[in-house]
A and B are shown apart, each in its own frame.
Chain A
Amino acid sequence: MAKTETLTINMGPQHPSTHGVLQVILELDGEVVVKATPHIGYLHRGVEKLAENKTYHQCITLVDRLDYLAGMSNNFSYVLAVEKLLDIEVPKRAQYIRIIMAELQRIASHLIWLGTHAHDIGAMTPLFYTFRERDEITFLFEMVCGARLTPSYFRIGGLASDLPDGFVSKATELMKLFPAKVDDYETLLTKNPIWMQRTKEVGILSAEDAVNLGASGPMIRGSNVPWDIRRSNPYSSYEDFNFIVPTGENGDCYDRYQVRIEEMRQSAEIVLQALERLPKGDINVYAPKVMLPPKEEVYTDIAALIHHFKIVSGGFNPPVGEVYSSVEAPKGELGFYIVSDGTNKPYRLRIRPPSFVNLESLPTMVEGSLIADVIAVIGSIDIVLGEVDR
């Protein structure tokens, strides 16, 4: 009998398609993966530890950098958690603007996913098309907050500033054009026989496994579990909007692809609805102990000046308690668990990262398939290492 040995191959942390610094140790029998062991942590920055030493407002910039492709969504989840702790609700206008930003961010994040995923499978052109549209969205972000990637636009109790002039018309125009662009990407991929061969029946995650492994977002919906936090626990007025929660059937890469494509269309739809119905009014809640007062008042009113000084120098002290709040980020359930001890800094800020938990199902999906499938599956999970490693 000839002796057979498996070949151990080290994929990453520097590898063209591990989307950052993911390392996967693959044990191969020929090209068939016998065992896949992901190693993470190369991008660990200790965000949770840092957050324990910053005031609540300062943490906003930290959470920007978790999933750096979806800064707005991270902001969103974090400020909602702190607002829940403080028991305040922001005005309707701010809620709508937050939804607009979160949905634009979802589109931007999915666009990058689509481009890189297609590129991993060898179709290089969609990458450039998706980046073109994503750029338009980041221009919109630049308009509202001056930053493209790490916006820090949301504030606890409202927003950093109101929408600038011309934003609504520009965003409306972009979102009206957007479905046609999605059609373009689909022309290149959806019915392409090679694309279908490469993604159908690849990386199957059954509904049971998906739930048991804690997959969320497009991952779990691709496995035919219609769970979307925007629908099941509407936050920030999501109940006002009409949208469909797309699901897949088999839980393979193709289903996840279709779910995300449809989500982009739905997000564009939500943005259009929100822009159309955008209420007038304040963008900040009236909570002098939490929110910075308007600048004019700081100059004219002594109480406002004192609040301004207090908040800037020391932040605010929320009540003792603990809250968990999660939103449907582009990658899945992004949750924040905040333990407050009554001081101006969170005693514990736990991030529930969707990419981290989704990545956990990688070995389940790839063992027994080929190397090429590993690439396709990693792409279809849509991980961002900044969030996996925190």
Chain B
Amino acid sequence: MLEVVITIGIMLVKMVIVLSVVMLMVAYVTLMERRVLGRMQVRHGPNRVGWQGLLQPIADGTKLFFKEELTVDKANKGLYHLAPVIYMGCALAIYAVIPFGNEIEVLGRVIPLHIADINIGILYVFALSSLGVYGLVLAGWSSNNKYSMLGGLRAAAQMISYELPLGLSIIGVLMLTGSLSMVDIVNAQEHVWFVFLQPFGFLLYLICAFAEVGRTPFDLVECDNEIVAGYQTEYSSMKFAIFYLGEYMHIIAVSAIAVTLFWGGWRGPFLPPVVWFIGKVLAFVFFFIWVRATYPRFRYDQLMRFGWKVLLPLTLLNIVVTALVTLII
């Protein structure tokens, strides 16, 4: 009985820690994005609130929290309120299966540094990130706004088209590991990171990940120059903030998955595993920001064509080649 209580207690503590770390990271990734973009664009970015602008996320959060909550007349109220929750909830749930460190020993107990090690881990991740699309589609549809609807439709089309190559791009890794569990995948990279065995698969994953989280050059879903703000046009106050948080959580999540699948997860010399993990994730986030500062945006039809006619065949090719190579060796 005591054992069960302790296990549940440890679980809860881990959840709280992961949740707060993720929230904190999201907050500071927004700051990092603005600062890094600023440096890349010959300006400073926010540097006035606190030392080097370190209190900026808190100020922004407070501001958004106290903003008036507006709901569009004739919006489908239930779905309108539910949409941001779905979106952020799904993004947050992904973190459950990500191993962010090795086992540690506390008071004679071995505690693995992941919340859950389910044997279909990677499948779970993709299932959740697909579910997250519902948040966007419902937000677009329920807002009673044409721009929102266009944004929602774009989101649906884009996510579905890119879900497929995204899933296929990691098949190579799964073939090498023989397991869907994230922990097993990290363990399989003890000697060599999969990015060296699957460089092509990694590139494909990266491109699809950009599309999946809707970042430049695939940010058509909320492309402000065309459809104002897409699905979130009519959202204000905390609901808007939740979408915003969800988006950044998604970015961090796909970065974390990329690290887990291709860059050896928490593995690395000298420094503690958690530091390695967070460092690698931040490197990816930096890359996302860098791309945002560099590239223009795709057009809707070009995006679809690219997904179906270029990425999908390439991922299939990658699988075939990987299979052949594994057979021969």
Contacts and interface: CB of A to CB of B under 8 A. Distances in A.
A binds B: yes
Interface of A: 7, 9, 15-17, 31, 118-125, 127-129, 132, 188-189, 192, 194-195, 197-198, 370-373, 375
Contact of A194 (B37, B42, B292, B296): B296
Contacts of B41: 124-125, 127-129
B298 interface: yes
A371 B226 CA distance: 7
Contact of A198 (B42, B219, B294, B299): B299
Contacts of B43: 128
B146 A9 contact: yes
Contacts of B241: none
B150 interface: yes
B48 to A, nearest CB: 19
Pick the most buried of A189, A194, A197: most chain B CB atoms within 10 A of its CB.
A194
Contacts of A121: 225, 296-297
Interface in B208-247: 216-217, 219-220, 223-228
B295 interface: yes
A125 B294 contact: yes
Nearest to A132: B42
A51 to B, nearest CB: 35
Pick the most buried of B42, B217, B299, B301: most chain A CB atoms within 10 A of its CB.
B299
15 contacts: A9-B150, A17-B226, A121-B297, A122-B216, A122-B225, A123-B297, A124-B41, A128-B41, A188-B294, A197-B299, A198-B298, A370-B299, A372-B220, A372-B299, A375-B226
B150 A31 contact: yes
Interface in B179-216: 216
A77 to B, nearest CB: 31
Contact of B228 (A15, A189, A197): A15
Contacts of B217: 122, 194
Interface of B: 37, 40-43, 146-147, 150, 216-217, 219-220, 223-228, 292-302
A189 B225 contact: no
B300 A194 contact: no
A16 B293 contact: no
Contacts of A195: 296
B273 to A, nearest CB: 36
Contact of B300 (A120, A132, A372): A372
Contacts of A122: 216-217, 219, 223, 225, 295-297
A27 B325 CA distance: 53
A189 B228 CA distance: 24
B298 A194 contact: yes
B295 A371 contact: no
Contact of B296 (A16, A123, A129): A123
Given A122-B295, A128-B43, A375-B226, 13 more contacts: A9-B146, A9-B147, A16-B225, A121-B297, A122-B217, A123-B294, A123-B295, A189-B296, A192-B295, A194-B297, A197-B299, A371-B226, A371-B300
Contacts of B228: 15-16
Contacts of B227: 371
A195 B216 CA distance: 13
Nearest to A378: B225
Contacts of A189: 296
B117 to A, nearest CB: 40
A373 B292 contact: no
Given A124-B293, A129-B42, A197 B300 contact: no
A101 B191 CA distance: 66
A123 B297 CA distance: 7
